[in-house]
Structure 1
Amino acid sequence: MVRFISFTYLFFGVVFFASAQHPEMVTQKKRLDFAKMYFELGGNLIPSFTGYGMINNEIEAINNPASFSPYLNWGAFHFWGHAEFYVSIPLTQFNLSSSSDSDYELTNAVVTGFRYLPWAYKDQQLTPYMGLSWQGTEFKQIFGIETDQPTLSKDFGIMPEIGILYGYKGFTARLGASYSQNTQWNYPISTNQFQKIETPDFALQLGILYAWENSHSKNKEVNKRWNAYPRVSNLNTGATTEGDFFIAAGPSTSFSTESSGYNNSQLPYLQSQLTSELYFDLAVGYQSNSADYFIVLSFRNPQFEASGYGTTQTIQKTSLAFEVCKFITDYTGFAPYIGLNMAYDHIQYSENTNAHDIDTQSFEPGLTIGWDIVPGKVEEALILRTNLRWYPFSSFEVEGITFDFGQLEYNLIQAVFYPGRLIRSRRL
């Protein structure tokens, strides 16, 4: 807690320093200037820490070196440069020194976050920010000549962060820091022995991003009409068509929301809450422009795997979900929605050590929330969408023991294409 308070004071010091140099300039806030997209290449610098392992049948301390973990960010500046929304995909990990006796892996799974900029982002000025990121963290301690130690993960970690941006002609440099309050791991150094390991709670962020504006139409009359929309209005304001069909695709990841009773009792050295590999959410649907809702059929096939000490556990989920979602409002191109869905899940479970092979099907009710980025309301042929689906009741049984499998499916950024809108735009 002391470190967190110090972290907060550091942010306000950064804000004071930047505000003394660059007072806020008042600008006209137009709808089509609401968002600016960017890609960022950067990395997290993680300090060294002490690990533990079972070496020659004795518990020994391990000096884990500092590491650098590159990432690729896809995000945007929203609210006229006062906010960032982004997703971060880890690429790899480089340890800054090596040892023949030990190694480790400490990576963030796919991260999403929000950052607040007290003064709007502008070129050629220092712009401070503070924010929160939501992420899963994975940790594996490697020791001895074997490398079959398990990977543990922590889901839904909330990490505060602070930093400074400096932009020049579309390119921007980032210097930041993040803080994690949940860094203790009860790590299995054997199938029945566990050791407390504490990983670093601070990480330094370095990055370079390129931002561009992509909301304006090539038609000046269209731009004028879009900018004339009220700041807050229904999504169907100005709609001239009943509705449109669409197709969509985007990368996703899934998190278990429940701790598996089966793993806790039978395989305690494996992760009890699983995170999927990255997969694609594919969808087809229809949006009612007149009533501000859409229906969609979504296909997902995430795979989950946990392994360690000779045991490999695999879950292949194939799911088809029908959902109905209602738009709540449209705030200058940011259109949140909420809906209900029903998924048909086919789950195949396999475990190599006990030769368990489970094949089960079920219907699972779920809740969907998300938002569209729609500068042109219902006129744009290609938009970006974010989905979050929650399935709290999913479970199956392995040898009479319940395997809790409640899920959060996070569809990071989905591209949604409306063929009919494209055809209409070319007729203008």
Structure 2
Amino acid sequence: MMKQFLLLIFFIPCSINLSGQENTLASKKRLDFAKTYFELGGNLFPSFTGKRFLGNSITTFEHPGSFNPYLNWGGFHFWGHAEFYVSFPLTQLNLKRKAETDFQLTHYVATGARFLPWAFEEKKIRPYIGFSWSALDFKQIIKPNEDQPTLSKDFMLVPDIGFLYGYKDFAIRIGVNYFHSNAWQYPMSKTEFEEISTPKFNLQVGLVYSFESSHDKNPETNKKWNSYPTVSRLSLDATRFGDFFVGIGPSVSFSLAKSEYNKSDFPYLNDKLSSSTYYDIALGYQFNKANLFSALSFRNPRYENTGYGTKQTIQKTSLAFEVSKFLTDYSGFVPYIGLNIAYDHIQYSENTNDADRKLTFRKVEPGITVGWDILPGKTEEYLILRTNLRWYPLSSLDIDNKSFDFSQLEYNLIQVVFYPGRFLKSRHKIGFNW
């Protein structure tokens, strides 16, 4: 699935060159390449069948439909032909309350990409098709006991289709998401499991507000940035050898491999874990003329797994050193790839009705970094947005001679990166004294 996602990201520029016959690349200005947006909306899930013990037998009942509001942060890219976004679920509103049963069904979008065959324009309906790289959590609650486990389907590719209608800075979205993997082997107890199928489709509605954030206040700077070739090196016109930077942004981590230990000892818990949101903090130096950067990144993901009187907690504190190379600059979209090595301090705790225990691990893990920057002003930009993924294929623990495999993927959603030296230089240009 990782390969499919990366292919989708890098396929979009090629698709846009083949479509959009009404505009040539020469007529498309660099600073119109991207436009930021926020979207407030919701997903409407239909009702579905749940299962529970009644006496000594399994009976079925109906879970009501639900409305799940979300907040998206994203942007229109490639001159209105594509969207990239991340999604933050806000809550869940069940359409009907039940005294004896409840459920939680949460759709997390780590990132999504959509392709618009016709560029987004005001007062026109524009269809789109895309995929989101998502996670889906499901918990069935049979009252009065609410200690059932939350199961997760991580690293799903969820197709979606819909249309946008724009008016001034706003747009209305109506779409449909399709969940191809909707069957859960849900634990009715620690030892008995039943299949529950959640909805395959949901209806999405949203209100989008977009705004321009690429243009500089200086018209001469805008003219210079628009004069750059569509495809060029990031180092084009670079005058400084390099610049220090600091960055911070929200991240999540996913384990891509199943835990042999959980499958054996705790089959009613997730065997693949995902973390709560944490912050990726980076301090680094960009070698402008060499088209690469190095950085130290600090992360502290926390994983929790609970159900039927058992609680697993993994607290990871990690410091990674990485070196990444910028591949090209496509109108301000600048992908890169690199290598990193991380030192991890991991605290594992396990609490059950019978016993508690804590274990500590210290490990050195090699990894691969891929990502992209949004850089309309090349090496003159002092505040940019960065997205990166780090994959640690060898990340694992051994508990009771059984593997607790992570094959961990860290996804830094949107990192804000600040270059102090570039900022001071820009202030000096317009007459500020520092």
What is the TM-score with the length of structure 1 in the denominator?
A: 0.93
Deviations 1:152-200 (A, max 9, x none): 0011111111111011110111000011110010000100000001111
Alignment match, 1:362: 363
* Equivalent residue runs for 1:204-223 within 5 Å: 204-223=203-222
1:355 Cα deviation from its structure 2 partner: 1.4
Deviations 1:389-411 (A, max 9, x none): 00011111222222112200000
Deviations 1:116-154 (A, max 9, x none): 001100111111111011101100011132100000001
Letter in 2 for 1:385: R
CA distance, structure 1, for counterparts of residue 226 and residue 55 of structure 2: 70
- Kindly indicate whether the alpha-carbon contact (under 8 Å) linking 2:110 and 2:413 is maintained by their aligned counterparts in 1: no
- Kindly indicate whether the alpha-carbon contact (under 8 Å) linking 1:384 and 1:414 is maintained by their aligned counterparts in 2: yes
Letter in 2 for 1:406: S
- Kindly indicate whether the alpha-carbon contact (under 8 Å) linking 1:112 and 1:133 is maintained by their aligned counterparts in 2: yes
Deviations 1:262-289 (A, max 9, x none): 0000000000000100110001000000
Unpaired stretches in structure 2, ≥5 consecutive residues:
1-19, 430-434
Corresponding residue SS for 2:122: coil
CA distance, structure 2, for counterparts of residue 218 and residue 46 of structure 1: 45
Letter in 2 for 1:320: L
CA distance, structure 2, for counterparts of residue 258 and residue 150 of structure 1: 19
Q: Cα RMSD (Å) of the superposition?
A: 1.1
CA distance, structure 2, for counterparts of residue 58 and residue 43 of structure 1: 37
Bigger mean CA offset, 109-118 vs 213-222: 109-118
2:76 is aligned with 1:77 = yes
2:130 is aligned with 1:101 = no
Deviations 1:6-29 (A, max 9, x none): xxxxxxxxxxxxxxxxx9854720
CA distance, structure 1, for counterparts of residue 165 and residue 236 of structure 2: 38
Deviations 1:345-365 (A, max 9, x none): 111000111312110100000
CA distance, structure 1, for counterparts of residue 218 and residue 364 of structure 2: 47
Bigger mean CA offset, 58-67 vs 220-229: 58-67
* Equivalent residue runs for 1:204-283 within 5 Å: 204-283=203-282
- Kindly indicate whether the alpha-carbon contact (under 8 Å) linking 1:244 and 1:288 is maintained by their aligned counterparts in 2: yes
Alignment match, 1:52: 51
CA distance, structure 1, for counterparts of residue 158 and residue 398 of structure 2: 34
Alignment match, 2:130: 131
Alignment match, 2:12: none
* Equivalent residue runs for 1:274-423 within 5 Å: 274-353=273-352, 354-423=355-424
Letter in 1 for 2:260: G
Unpaired stretches in structure 1, ≥5 consecutive residues:
1-22
* Equivalent residue runs for 1:122-161 within 5 Å: 122-161=121-160
Deviations 1:212-231 (A, max 9, x none): 11101111111111000010
2:54 is aligned with 1:63 = no
Identity across aligned pairs (percent)? Answer: 60
CA distance, structure 2, for counterparts of residue 78 and residue 249 of structure 1: 23
Bigger mean CA offset, 51-60 vs 85-94: 51-60
CA distance, structure 1, for counterparts of residue 22 and residue 91 of structure 2: 40
Corresponding residue SS for 2:380: coil
- Kindly indicate whether the alpha-carbon contact (under 8 Å) linking 1:110 and 1:253 is maintained by their aligned counterparts in 2: no
Deviations 1:31-62 (A, max 9, x none): 00000000000110000000112233431212
Letter in 1 for 2:204: Q
Alignment match, 1:194: 193
CA distance, structure 2, for counterparts of residue 332 and residue 24 of structure 1: 18
Alignment match, 2:172: 173
Corresponding residue SS for 2:379: coil
Letter in 1 for 2:281: L
- Kindly indicate whether the alpha-carbon contact (under 8 Å) linking 1:55 and 1:143 is maintained by their aligned counterparts in 2: no
CA distance, structure 1, for counterparts of residue 112 and residue 54 of structure 2: 39
Letter in 2 for 1:411: N
Deviations 1:57-114 (A, max 9, x none): 4312120110000111000000000000000111111110011111111101243110
CA distance, structure 2, for counterparts of residue 110 and residue 76 of structure 1: 15
- Kindly indicate whether the alpha-carbon contact (under 8 Å) linking 1:347 and 1:360 is maintained by their aligned counterparts in 2: yes
Alignment match, 2:8: none
CA distance, structure 2, for counterparts of residue 400 and residue 246 of structure 1: 43
Bigger mean CA offset, 215-224 vs 352-361: 352-361
Aligned residues between the structures: 406
CA distance, structure 2, for counterparts of residue 300 and residue 39 of structure 1: 26
Alignment match, 1:114: 113
Letter in 2 for 1:222: T
Corresponding residue SS for 2:252: strand
Letter in 1 for 2:340: N
Corresponding residue SS for 1:40: strand
Corresponding residue SS for 2:129: strand
What is the TM-score with the length of structure 2 in the denominator?
A: 0.92
Letter in 1 for 2:363: S
Corresponding residue SS for 1:182: coil
CA distance, structure 1, for counterparts of residue 143 and residue 71 of structure 2: 32
